[in-house]
């Protein structure tokens, strides 16, 4: 044993490992690191499970950290062995297999649970969530033998699952409780175009429908709506959102609300314990996208390294959809609202729609469908609070046309 | 005449008075119709192969779009017999009931000499009145009157060669570079060969002509007489006059000199009064004094004035005083506006002339003419000149009028009154080649005349050169030559014996015969050498300069021998003193309106308006104003502004420019109600005329100018040739609009004061498209998306009042519309070019609403990093330009691959490609 401090990471996912990577970057020799993961794999890119489901990528292709990487960095990895307890007084973690590992600093990165609708039949075989590689395997098996897939939830994840299953040869129906798909990311018009494109790809939709029960004997066979109507369902994917995984944190008495509450340095109420990723709640917000993880990981690593500079102020999120052939982007306050102005571009034949929302001469939101190449640039404008008045009438036509005007103004200022 | 090897026909240009020779080649279009290729005729002595922008674009104006193809009576299309009967009866009835001085012909410098001849003969020899006047009255009648006072007859003494030969060319009131471009080119070219040559322009505006001159004197409008009196005084004071010439060949010198000295003996004072630099003025006077080879060219800036005739004589006085008349490189030179204004003068097609340069002042002439014509009657006194004629129509004195080949509803001053007069006149006949002009709408009988390329006869240009204008196209529809129409009406009025012509050559023969009839050198205009030429000889007639008599076949210069056509045989000095323009500026109308031509349009645009090329130079009616005057009125460039005078209003785009003197504005003459809403300057122009020539004062109307305070501006480009479209806009709440022909599209510029409620609906309705059924709607935005709709793309910024849309049909642009609260809309040039595209490119669609060419760098290529929207083209550029060597480098430059990271393998693949 060395005299290095000990860091234990609970959760071998993207947030935890990114934090470790950042830490190795700034303080390579500070800690002996031990990682516990519930899943039996190395760290893979969870966002890329959709392309794996769709057959566009393999699991190998989405691996971020292989066992060799852990070895090369002297990290002790325990896969398939979830942590079941933390004895905060002794600063020791206890795993399912009975392993006890002491820590000087503990990082919790347990991610989130899929939200399972509390309906009859939710535990029937053939009902899955879409969270990890195991779920993908389950779905792929179902696709071999069964025909009718129903995805509950017309959000980002649900639509990616629907697309994947459809590409795997299943007939897919998406059941969505609202009238618009991705209502948290799209406005009515872009949501309509998205639905239209997916319909053209063969996906069917049941909009504004509430799931009442899942029916079946040995396996799920049908889905029943609140109004009594039934549709065949030999595979049901629950993709109605995620909840921060705070089971362990609550069990060990860390302060939690919806997520594990952290401060701007990603520290929990126990100063020895940090948390990052989808399990945390920062300034009241729980995130379910990848960009905040990166920001959080950077800050957290900085503090774990005792550099003590940098603080996390939250992340403005943007959305893209990983469905091949569909370009979609949304960010900020895309739905307008009081005292906002909207610029709108429509090309219905080419299924293009863009809306930029402006307030006080600043871009505060954007939603684009059909053509999203400039999304990142708009996102930058939103984050920087750039005054766009000099380029207002060119803004919607993209960076190539509008940026020179903004640069000219900036140069003059 | 064919030149043997090809179908090329030598003819002449139908536009300005330069009278260029043109070679025209008509060919069949594969799609039907005809193509016309034109080029300059290298052998024609007026242009030697050169052609200006208008002449070069003649091929674009010969299509049948907008042509009048059938006779009409009222709204009904009828056959020629019926139409001619109605026309003849209408005139006969008015003649029988009211008398010969109660009917009128208003004709045009666009007519050929043969047409003109029979019109004049019908009016003066058979109807027996003299109410035939011409639109030439509007451009050069002051020159005619000045020539007659000085030389005893209407003679242009020089030729274009003199402009090349001269060491000093003084251009007075002439934007030669735009209005007589080939003459100007000849002058400019000769300056290159003659380093001592000087060009001086006298014009209140800094025109393109002034820009290319050695000296520009921006004199105050109306001070020309003072300036030339100053010159005469200077020449006298500096002993530069030609005393021998004055005593041998002229009369009335003393009174003219005294008049000049009485107001212009002090150069400094003259300069102050003309509001020009004394040094510049002295320079002009010195150059004039020292250069025996001086030509003074004058044009509408001199003629179109209530003192136009005096201005002409003030110029001629200086030439007489220096003996510079009709000598190589030395003459006063009136340059006319129209292709056959001179031919009209030669046949006597003006109310104060009789025929063949004979007039009413010599009591022998009416007798002589009647004798030659063997006509029942002959006019014995002058009739109404143009402005008087329309006043007489308006007063109800004239009961029937025949308008031939001209558009007085636009072109005359006080045009609102002219429109009212035509509206109430009992009987109006209009013969024209175009169906819808502002004048044809008043016609009781509408007669289709042949247009350029179809008609055949002779014309005379500004240097007395008579050329054949030949036909090379089949007659359009049922169109007939003007001479034929006139003769047929004459026959039906009972004058068959006077109008027996079977061919225009017979008319020319008679015209030539009259010029020589009992002439014996008494009269200047004599082409009797050509009496008896056959149809074939007529067809092959080479250009020549009259007079042409047995011993002299062409005459480049006249009067150089000091023999004049006055009773005494001597040239006459005319004592002139400066008179103020008829109407002075005042508090209510503090600015002086000047009007004139632009480079690429002709008259009221009935033909040039069809040419995309010509319509692109200055596409809209505009009002030029000095920056200070604009600032004082809060007027911005491109804003729609209105000028108003005591007589009416006109509207156009503000062009703020230092070309203008501070208290003057300029508006082009070309626009009509056909091409614009209120774009006709004629409504504003003062109807005051020169007391001698009857020429109106187009160059000096007191006006006020104000911004129209438009709430929004817009434009439309549409493939549809939609003549109704502008009307629709007008009906739909627009307050100003202009129609411009483009290549494969029509362009409409417009503006309105009241906001449009539903701009999308409004725009679509203009193209006949309704609102589609919504598949999804946004209550907040008030817009929807439809499944089943025309291919309509749009962009809007509702709170800024911006709306842009494009309609695409079969992947080609059909139309686009742009609306903005300010006039700073995107340039139309790229959008215009898109109409030629057979297929829109991927980037073009969106660029249609941007209004500019797509930026190649905007094509990011297929998206590789979807998190940051980074395309393959962008990545390749980063590799090439920023030296990225790894996926991490690319991430550093472009962020690509730094979020979800899923594109990193693709980034590496792209790196490997390079």
- DSSP β-bridge partners for residue B716: B748, B817
As a whole number, mean pLDDT of residues B313-321 equals 98
**Among B778, B789, B795, beta carbon nearest to A396:** B795
Q: List, in order, residues 6 or more apart from B148 with CB less than 8 Å away.
A: B154, B359
Q: Confirm or reject contact between A322 and chain B (CB < 8 A).
A: yes
The DSSP code for B549 is B
Q: List, in order, residues 6 or more apart from A389 with CB less than 8 Å away.
A: A361
- Same domain for B882 and B850? no
Looking at every residue in chain B, the average pLDDT score rounds to 93
As a whole number, mean pLDDT of residues A381-403 equals 93
The CATH number assigned to the domain holding B902 equals 1.10.10.1100
Last residue of a domain, which of B688, B707, B726?
B707
- Same domain for B441 and B532? yes
pTM: 0.82
**Residue B763's pLDDT is what?**
87
Could you write out the DSSP letters of every residue in A103-127?
Answer: -SEEEE---EEEPPP--TTTTSTTE
Q: Model confidence over B271-296: pLDDT tens digits?
A: 999 999 999 999 999 999 999 999 99
Last residue of a domain, which of B491, B516, B545?
B545
Asked whether the beta carbons of residue A320 and residue B778 sit closer than 8 angstroms, the reply is no
B149 is a domain residue: yes
**Residue B736's pLDDT is what?**
77
- Mapping DSSP to helix (H, G, I), strand (E, B) and coil, where does residue B782 land? coil
Q: Model confidence over B731-770: pLDDT tens digits?
A: 556 677 888 888 899 998 888 888 888 889 888 888 888 8
- Same domain for B257 and B285? yes
The answer to whether the beta carbons of residues B562 and B249 sit under 8 Å apart is yes
Environment class of B473 (CB within 10 Å of its CB; exposed 0-12, middle 13-18, buried 19+): middle
Q: List, in order, residues 6 or more apart from A144 with CB less than 8 Å away.
A: none
Q: Confirm or reject contact between A353 and chain B (CB < 8 A).
A: yes
- Same domain for B703 and B733? no
**Residue B32's pLDDT is what?**
67
The domain in which residue B595 lies consists of 591-707
B580 is a domain residue: no
Asked whether the beta carbons of residue B900 and residue A47 sit closer than 8 angstroms, the reply is yes
Residue from B464, B454, B520 nearest B484 by CA: B454
Between residues 367 and 386 of chain A, which touch chain B (CB distance below 8 Å)? 371-377
As a whole number, mean pLDDT of residues A81-85 equals 95
**Residue B31's pLDDT is what?**
65
Which of A297, A376, A383, A388 to probe by mutation at the B interface, max B CB count within 10 Å?
A: A376
**Residue B38's pLDDT is what?**
94
CA atoms of B869 and B867, how far apart (whole Å) = 6
- Same domain for B764 and B873? no
CA atoms of B2 and B11, how far apart (whole Å) = 10
CA atoms of A126 and A109, how far apart (whole Å) = 29
| pLDDT band at A11; cut points 50, 70, 90 | very high
Asked whether the beta carbons of residue A372 and residue B860 sit closer than 8 angstroms, the reply is no
Radius of gyration of chain B (CA): 31
Contacts of A189 in chain B (CB under 8 A): 776-778, 781, 783-785
Which of A180, A325, A348, A374 to probe by mutation at the B interface, max B CB count within 10 Å?
A: A348
Question: For residue B130, what are the CA distances in angstroms to A215, B134, B645?
Answer: 106, 12, 32
As a whole number, mean pLDDT of residues A27-39 equals 94
Q: Confirm or reject contact between A25 and chain B (CB < 8 A).
A: no
Q: How far from the centroid of its chain's Cα atoms is residue A206's Cα?
A: 24
- Same domain for B603 and B674? yes
Other residues' Cβ atoms within 10 Å of the Cβ of residue B709: 13
- Same domain for B698 and B793? no
Question: At residue B853, does pLDDT exceed 90?
Answer: no
Other residues' Cβ atoms within 10 Å of the Cβ of residue B660: 26
Asked whether the beta carbons of residue A189 and residue B783 sit closer than 8 angstroms, the reply is yes
**Among A341, A346, A376, beta carbon nearest to B868:** A376
The answer to whether the beta carbons of residues B672 and B438 sit under 8 Å apart is yes
Other residues' Cβ atoms within 10 Å of the Cβ of residue B27: 11
User: How many helices and strands (H and E) does chain B possess?
Assistant: 32, 38
**Among A57, A372, A401, beta carbon nearest to B850:** A401
Question: At residue A376, does pLDDT exceed 90?
Answer: no
CA atoms of A346 and A370, how far apart (whole Å) = 10
Least confident span in A189-193, A403-407, B795-799: A403-407
Report the residue of chain A nearest B793, measured CA to CA: A347
Q: Which residue has the tokens 């005292």?
A: A339
Which of A400, A402, A404 to probe by mutation at the B interface, max B CB count within 10 Å?
A: A400
B67 is a domain residue: no
If one counts the domains in chain B, the total is 6
As a whole number, mean pLDDT of residues B720-724 equals 60
DSSP alpha helix (H) spans, B708-802: 723-731, 759-766
Q: How far is A6 from chain B (nearest CA, A)?
A: 29
Contacts of B846 in chain A (CB under 8 A): 345, 347, 371, 397
Q: List, in order, residues 6 or more apart from A243 with CB less than 8 Å away.
A: A112, A113, A114, A115, A258
B282 is a domain residue: yes
What the block records as the tokens of B322 is 């220096």
Contacts of B849 in chain A (CB under 8 A): 345, 397
Walk me through the domains of chain A, giving residue ranges and CATH numbers. Answer: 5-113+242-304 (3.50.50.60), 127-238 (3.50.50.60), 327-412 (3.30.390.30)
Residues in chain B: 914
Asked whether the beta carbons of residue A393 and residue B777 sit closer than 8 angstroms, the reply is no
Contacts of A329 in chain B (CB under 8 A): 869
The CA-CA-CA angle for residues B200, B201, B205, to 5°, reads 150
Which 3-state string (H, E, C) describes B646-714?
Answer: CCCEEEEEEEECCCCCCCEEEEECCCCCCCECCCCHHHCCCCCECCCCCCECCCCEEEEEEECCCCEEE
Report the residue of chain B nearest A317, measured CA to CA: B867
- Same domain for B798 and B814? yes
Q: Model confidence over B637-678: pLDDT tens digits?
A: 999 999 999 999 999 999 999 999 999 999 999 998 888 888
Could you write out the DSSP letters of every residue in B289-323?
Answer: HH-SSEEEEE-HHHHSSTTHHHHHHHHHHHHHHTT
B325 is a domain residue: yes
ipTM attached to this prediction = 0.86
Question: At residue A411, does pLDDT exceed 80?
Answer: no
**Residue B580's pLDDT is what?**
94
Residue from B625, B859, B817 nearest B718 by CA: B817
CA atoms of B183 and B196, how far apart (whole Å) = 19
Q: Which residue has the tokens 């206890």?
A: A94
Last residue of a domain, which of B510, B527, B545?
B545
Other residues' Cβ atoms within 10 Å of the Cβ of residue B558: 24
Report the residue of chain A nearest B854, measured CA to CA: A401
Q: Confirm or reject contact between A316 and chain B (CB < 8 A).
A: no
Which of A21, A342, A369 to probe by mutation at the B interface, max B CB count within 10 Å?
A: A342
Contacts of B858 in chain A (CB under 8 A): 397-401
Q: Model confidence over A141-186: pLDDT tens digits?
A: 999 999 999 999 999 899 999 999 999 999 999 999 999 999 989 9
**Residue B1's pLDDT is what?**
45
The answer to whether the beta carbons of residues A234 and A222 sit under 8 Å apart is no
**Among B781, B785, B867, beta carbon nearest to A342:** B781
Report the residue of chain B nearest A391, measured CA to CA: B850
B252 is a domain residue: yes
- Same domain for B353 and B415? yes
B832 is a domain residue: yes
Asked whether the beta carbons of residue B778 and residue A187 sit closer than 8 angstroms, the reply is yes
B564 is a domain residue: no
Q: How far from the centroid of its chain's Cα atoms is residue A290's Cα?
A: 5
Asked whether the beta carbons of residue A192 and residue B795 sit closer than 8 angstroms, the reply is no
Q: List, in order, residues 6 or more apart from A11 with CB less than 8 Å away.
A: A36, A37, A38, A107, A108, A109, A110, A111, A277, A279
Looking at every residue in chain A, the average pLDDT score rounds to 93
């Amino acid at each position: 044993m060395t005299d290095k401090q000990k860091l234990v990471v609970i959760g071998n996912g993207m947030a935890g490992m990114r934090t470790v990577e950042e830490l190795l970057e700034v303080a390579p020799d500070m800690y002996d690191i031990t990682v516990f993961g519930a899943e039996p794999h190395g760290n893979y890119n969870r966002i890329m499970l959709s392309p794996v489901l769709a057959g566009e990528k393999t699991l190998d292709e989405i691996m971020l950290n292989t066992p060799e990487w852990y070895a090369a960095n002297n990290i002790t990895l325990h896969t398939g062995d979830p942590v079941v307890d933390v004895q905060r007084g002794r600063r020791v973690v206890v795993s399912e297999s009975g392993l006890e590992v002491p820590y000087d600093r503990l990082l919790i990165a347990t991610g989130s649970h899929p939200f399972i609708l509390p309906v009859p039949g939710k535990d029937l075989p053939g009902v899955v969530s879409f969270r990890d590689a195991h779920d993908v395997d389950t779905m792929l098996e179902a696709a071999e033998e069964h025909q009718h897939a129903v995805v509950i939830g017309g959000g980002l994840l649900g639509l990616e699952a629907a697309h994947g299953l459809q590409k795997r040869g299943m007939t897919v129906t998406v059941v969505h409780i609202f009238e618009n798909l991705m209502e948290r990311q799209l406005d009515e018009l872009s949501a309509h175009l998205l639905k239209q494109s997916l319909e053209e790809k063969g996906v069917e939709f049941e909009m504004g429908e509430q799931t009442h029960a899942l029916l079946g004997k040995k396996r799920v066979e049908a889905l029943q709506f609140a109004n009594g109507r039934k549709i065949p369902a030999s595979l049901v994917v629950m993709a109605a959102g995620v909840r921060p995984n705070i089971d362990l944190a609550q069990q060990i008495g860390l302060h939690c609300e919806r997520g594990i509450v952290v401060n701007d340095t990603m520290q929990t109420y126990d100063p020895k314990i940090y948390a990052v990723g989808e399990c945390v709640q920062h300034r009241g917000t729980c995130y379910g996208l990848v960009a905040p993880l990166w920001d959080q990981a950077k800050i957290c690593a900085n503090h774990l390294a005792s550099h003590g500079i940098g603080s996390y102020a939250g992340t403005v999120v943007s959305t893209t959809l990983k469905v091949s052939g569909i370009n979609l982007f949304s960010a900020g306050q895309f739905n307008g609202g009081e005292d906002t102005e909207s610029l709108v571009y429509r090309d219905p034949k080419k299924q293009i729609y863009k809306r930029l929302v402006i307030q006080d001469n600043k871009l505060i939101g954007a939603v684009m469908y059909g053509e999203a190449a400039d999304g990142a640039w708009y996102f930058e404008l939103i984050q920087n609070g750039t005054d766009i008045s000099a380029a207002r009438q060119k803004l919607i036509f993209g960076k190539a046309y509008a940026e020179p005007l903004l640069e000219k103004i900036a140069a003059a200022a | 005449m064919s030149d043997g090897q090809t179908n090329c026909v030598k003819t002449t240009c139908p536009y300005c008075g330069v009278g260029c020779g043109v070679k025209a080649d008509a060919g069949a279009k594969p799609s039907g119709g005809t193509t016309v290729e034109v080029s300059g005729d290298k052998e024609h002595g007026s242009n030697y192969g050169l052609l200006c922008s208008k002449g070069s674009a003649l091929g674009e104006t010969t299509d049948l779009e907008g042509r009048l193809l059938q006779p009409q009576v009222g709204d009904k299309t009828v056959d020629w017999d019926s139409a001619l009967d109605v026309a003849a009866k209408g005139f006969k009835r008015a003649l029988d009931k009211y008398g010969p001085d109660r009917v009128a012909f208003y004709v045009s410098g666009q007519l050929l000499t043969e047409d003109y001849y029979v019109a004049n003969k019908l009016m003066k020899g058979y109807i027996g009145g003299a109410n035939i006047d011409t639109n030439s009255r509007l451009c050069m009648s002051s020159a005619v009157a000045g020539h007659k006072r000085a030389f005893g007859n209407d003679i242009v003494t020089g030729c274009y060669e003199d402009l090349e030969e001269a060491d000093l060319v003084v251009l007075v009131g002439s934007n030669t570079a735009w209005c007589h471009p080939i003459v100007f080119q000849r002058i400019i070219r000769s300056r290159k060969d003659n380093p001592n040559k000087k060009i001086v322009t006298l014009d209140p505006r800094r025109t393109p002509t002034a820009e290319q001159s050695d000296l520009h004197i921006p004199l105050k409008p109306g001070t020309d007489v003072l300036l030339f009196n100053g010159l005469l005084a200077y020449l006298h004071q500096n002993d530069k006059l030609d005393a021998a010439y004055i005593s041998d060949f002229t009369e009335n010198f003393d009174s003219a000199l005294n008049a000049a000295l009485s107001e212009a003996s002090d150069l400094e004072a003259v300069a102050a009064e003309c509001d020009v630099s004394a040094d510049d003025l002295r320079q002009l006077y010195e150059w004039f004094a020292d250069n025996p080879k001086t030509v003074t060219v004058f044009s509408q800036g001199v003629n179109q004035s209530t003192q136009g005739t005096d201005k002409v004589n003030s110029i001629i006085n200086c030439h007489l005083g220096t003996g510079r008349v009709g000598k190589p490189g030395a003459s006063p030179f009136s340059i006319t506006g129209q292709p056959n204004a001179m031919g009209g003068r030669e046949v006597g097609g003006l109310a104060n002339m009789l025929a063949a340069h004979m007039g009413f002042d010599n009591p022998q002439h009416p007798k002589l003419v009647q004798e030659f014509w063997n006509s029942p009657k002959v006019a014995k006194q002058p009739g109404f000149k143009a402005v008087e004629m329309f006043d007489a129509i308006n007063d109800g004195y004239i009961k029937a009028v025949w308008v031939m080949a001209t558009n007085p509803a636009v072109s005359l001053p006080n045009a609102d009154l002219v429109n009212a007069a035509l509206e109430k006149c009992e009987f109006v006949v209009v013969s024209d080649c175009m169906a819808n002009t502002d004048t044809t709408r008043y016609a009781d009988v509408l007669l289709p005349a042949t247009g350029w390329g179809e008609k055949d006869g002779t014309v005379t240009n500004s240097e007395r050169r008579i050329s054949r204008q030949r036909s090379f196209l089949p007659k359009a529809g049922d169109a007939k030559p003007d001479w034929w129409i006139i003769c047929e009406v004459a026959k039906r009025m009972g004058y068959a014996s006077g109008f027996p012509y079977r061919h225009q050559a017979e008319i020319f023969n008679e015209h030539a015969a009259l010029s020589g009839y009992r002439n014996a050198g008494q009269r200047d205009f004599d082409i009797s050498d050509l009496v008896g030429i056959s149809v074939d000889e007529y067809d092959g007639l080479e250009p020549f300069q009259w007079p042409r008599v047995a011993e002299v076949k062409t005459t480049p210069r006249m009067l150089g021998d000091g023999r004049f056509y006055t009773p005494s045989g001597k040239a006459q000095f005319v004592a002139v003193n400066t008179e103020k323009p008829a109407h002075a500026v005042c508090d209510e109308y503090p600015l002086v309106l000047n009007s004139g031509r632009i480079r690429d349009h002709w008259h009221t645009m009935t033909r040039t308006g069809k040419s995309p090329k010509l319509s692109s130079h200055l596409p809209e009616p505009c009002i030029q104003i000095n920056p200070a005057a604009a600032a004082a009125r809060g007027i911005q460039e491109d804003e729609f502004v209105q000028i108003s005078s005591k007589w009416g209003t006109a509207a156009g785009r503000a062009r703020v420019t230092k070309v203008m003197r501070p208290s003057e504005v300029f508006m082009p003459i070309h626009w009509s109600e056909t091409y614009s809403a209120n774009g006709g300057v004629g409504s504003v122009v003062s109807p005051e005329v020169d007391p001698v020539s009857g020429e109106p004062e187009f160059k000096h109307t007191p006006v006020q100018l104000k911004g129209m305070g438009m709430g929004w501006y817009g434009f439309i480009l549409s493939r549809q040739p939609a003549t109704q479209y502008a009307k629709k806009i007008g009906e739909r709440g627009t307050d100003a609009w202009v129609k411009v022909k483009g290549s494969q599209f029509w362009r409409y510029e417009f503006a309105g004061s009241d906001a449009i409620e539903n701009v999308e609906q409004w725009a679509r309705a203009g193209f006949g498209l309704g609102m589609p059924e919504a598949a999804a709607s946004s209550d907040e935005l008030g817009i929807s998306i439809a499944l089943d709709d025309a291919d309509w793309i749009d962009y809007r910024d509702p709170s800024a009042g911006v709306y842009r849309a494009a309609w695409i049909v079969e992947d080609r642009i059909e139309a686009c519309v742009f609306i903005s609260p300010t006039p700073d809309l995107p340039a139309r040039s790229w959008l215009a070019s898109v109409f030629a595209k057979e297929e829109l490119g991927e980037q073009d669609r969106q660029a249609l609403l941007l209004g500019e060419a797509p930026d190649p760098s905007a094509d990011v290529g297929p998206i590789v990093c979807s998190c940051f929207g980074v395309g393959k083209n962008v990545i390749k550029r980063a590799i090439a330009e920023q030296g990225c060597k790894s996926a991490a480098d690319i991430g550093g430059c472009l962020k690509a691959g730094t979020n979800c990271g899923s594109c990193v393998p693709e980034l590496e693949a792209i790196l490997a490609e390079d």
